[in-house]
Amino acid sequence: MKIKTKFFGEIEVEEKQIINFVEGIPGFPEYERYVLINDEEVGFTFLQSIDEWSLCFITLPPATIVGDYSFDLSDEAVEKLELEKPEDAITLAILNIPEDFKKMTANLRAPIVINVKNNKGIQELLDGDNYSMKHQVFKGDV
């Protein structure tokens, strides 16, 4: 199927590539179907809505931002994702990229978690204050 995207024009995606966020993503509950688009040139992964071309989240694996990033997924999240093994999940952090890209932040407190075996996804709000919703990606001079 062809979809219109925010940054890549029209692209072809297969049904098996579609990730279902049963509850949507907080703030966008009506949009449940997304696809991941990897752009190796810029190094980002784009989480593009299938149903709203203008809705696209720019993401990075949190471990590329904080090397020892880890968390315990809630039992409820494991159940929603139907996750059998931790290695079946990928984790992404949504980025906020302002005009001055040096001020880019990452939401490490509410990662996107996707079960790659069944393509179910959630955005999990982590307990505690180990991670920030506005973690500065670049430290010092860039």
Please tell me whether residue 33 adopts helix, strand or coil conformation: strand
39 part of a folded domain = yes
pLDDT at 14 (0 to 100): 97
Domain that holds residue 51: 2-136
Domain count, the chain: 1
Tell me the per-residue pLDDT of 36-54, one tens digit each, with 9 for 90 and over: 999 988 889 999 999 999 9
Number of C-alpha atoms within 13 angstroms, CB side, residue 115? 19
Number of DSSP helices (H) and strands (E) in the chain, helices first = 1, 10
We report the CATH number of the domain holding residue 106 as 2.30.290.10
Residue 75 in domain: yes
pLDDT at residue 141 above 90?
Answer: no
Would you say residue 142 lies in a domain?
no
- Comparing CA positions, the residue from 123, 129, 121, 127 lying closest to residue 27 is 123
Q: What angle do CA 86, 108, 79 make, to 5 degrees?
A: 35
Cα angle: 53, vertex 73, 20; to 5 degrees? 25
d(Cα 112, Cα 53) in Å, to the nearest integer?
19
Q: What is the pLDDT of residues 77-130, one digit of tens each?
A: 999 999 999 999 999 999 999 999 999 999 999 999 999 999 999 999 999 889
Residue 141 placed within a domain: no
